[in-house]
Amino acid sequence: MEKSMVYTWMESPVGRLLLAADEKGLRKLLFGGKPEPGWREDPEALSETVRQLRAYFAGELHDFDLPLAPEGTPFQLRVWRELRNIPYGQTISYGELARRIGSPNSSRAVGLANGANPISIVVPCHRVIGSNGKLTGYGGGIENKERLLALEKEHPLFAR
């Protein structure tokens, strides 16, 4: 990671979150975790991210407007871009996500990319579920996946 990486912590309804960014944008939003060597704590640099996350958890924000800079393979980046197209309060299956990126036979690879998402919540990997409708693995724990989906059902989209 670059030496210009800054981080802060945020308490949330799904536990303590570690946020990290550089001049290109938000790089990581992790459940727990530890800052890497060379990162500098700077809550002010991430104040807009924290503000938007608080609004999301309050049910007041449904679409994040933040510069994002995840690092991954071209395939992972394609999956993560498509995750951002899943509407608030909705879920899709891994197979559907694979179809949406034009790779219908790659649901297993899509699942691995989904699990490697470094910017959870903002890049809503929690909205992807098993084809049988059951919740499957989540880096922040299944209970947090349930909480995030329940939050989105509790605060449905309003007419725009």
Classify residue 144: in a domain, yes or no.
yes
d(CA 80, CA 102): 14
pLDDT of residue 81: 97
- 125 catalytic residue (yes or no): yes
Check: CB of residue 94 under 8 Å from CB of residue 127.
no
CATH number of the CATH domain containing 81: 1.10.10.10
Note the pLDDT tens digit of each residue in 51-107: 999 999 999 999 999 999 999 999 999 999 999 999 999 999 999 999 999 999 999
- Tell me if residue 21 falls in helix, strand or coil: strand
Host domain of residue 48: 6-57
Q: What is the pTM of this model?
A: 0.91
Alpha-carbon separation of residue 76 from 73, 114, 126 (angstroms)? 5, 8, 16
Catalytic residue among 20, 119, 125, 151: 125
